[in-house]
């Protein structure tokens, strides 16, 4: 059986806005509005928790990391930990 992982990186509004300013979005004005950013983040979190996590028949390991106040090195460390523990997480699910 093949297993998959899904990692969602998120942040608070101010951090997302700051990051979006440095990107060249086609709809740049929209991607700087608090309502747009917050609703997009809510949709992605709900999608991760309720759709991917529940409809996956335990074949997908999901994780959400809030990157607001963590340095790049810590984010890399959390990612590597997540990636290296996917098989352990799946085995633990089978035991339960």
Higher pLDDT, 5 or 42: 42
Higher pLDDT, 78 or 52: 78
How far apart, in Å, are the Cα atoms of 88 and each of 8, 9, 49, 61, 81?
19, 21, 20, 10, 11
Nearest in space to 57 (alpha carbons), one of 11, 21, 4: 4
pLDDT at site 71 = 94
Residue 4 phi, psi (nearest 5): -135, 170
pLDDT band at 59 (very low <50, low <70, confident <90, very high): confident
Q: pLDDT tens for residues 14-36?
A: 998 888 888 776 566 667 788 88
> How remote is the C-alpha of 91 from its chain's centroid?
22
10 pairs with which residues across the strands?
A: 66
Question: What's the DSSP call for residue 67?
Answer: -
Q: pLDDT tens for residues 66-96?
A: 999 999 999 999 999 988 887 777 667 654 4
Enter the pTM of the model.
0.68
């Amino acid at each position: 059986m093949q297993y998959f992982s899904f990692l969602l990186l998120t942040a608070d509004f101010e951090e997302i806005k700051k990051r979006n300013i440095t990107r060249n979005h086609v709809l740049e004005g929209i991607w700087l509005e608090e309502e747009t950013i917050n609703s997009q983040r809510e949709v992605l979190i709900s999608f991760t928790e309720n759709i991917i996590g529940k409809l996956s028949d335990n074949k997908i390991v999901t994780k959400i990391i809030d990157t607001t106040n963590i340095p790049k090195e810590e984010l890399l460390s959390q990612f590597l930990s997540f990636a290296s523990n996917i098989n352990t997480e799946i085995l633990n699910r089978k035991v339960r």
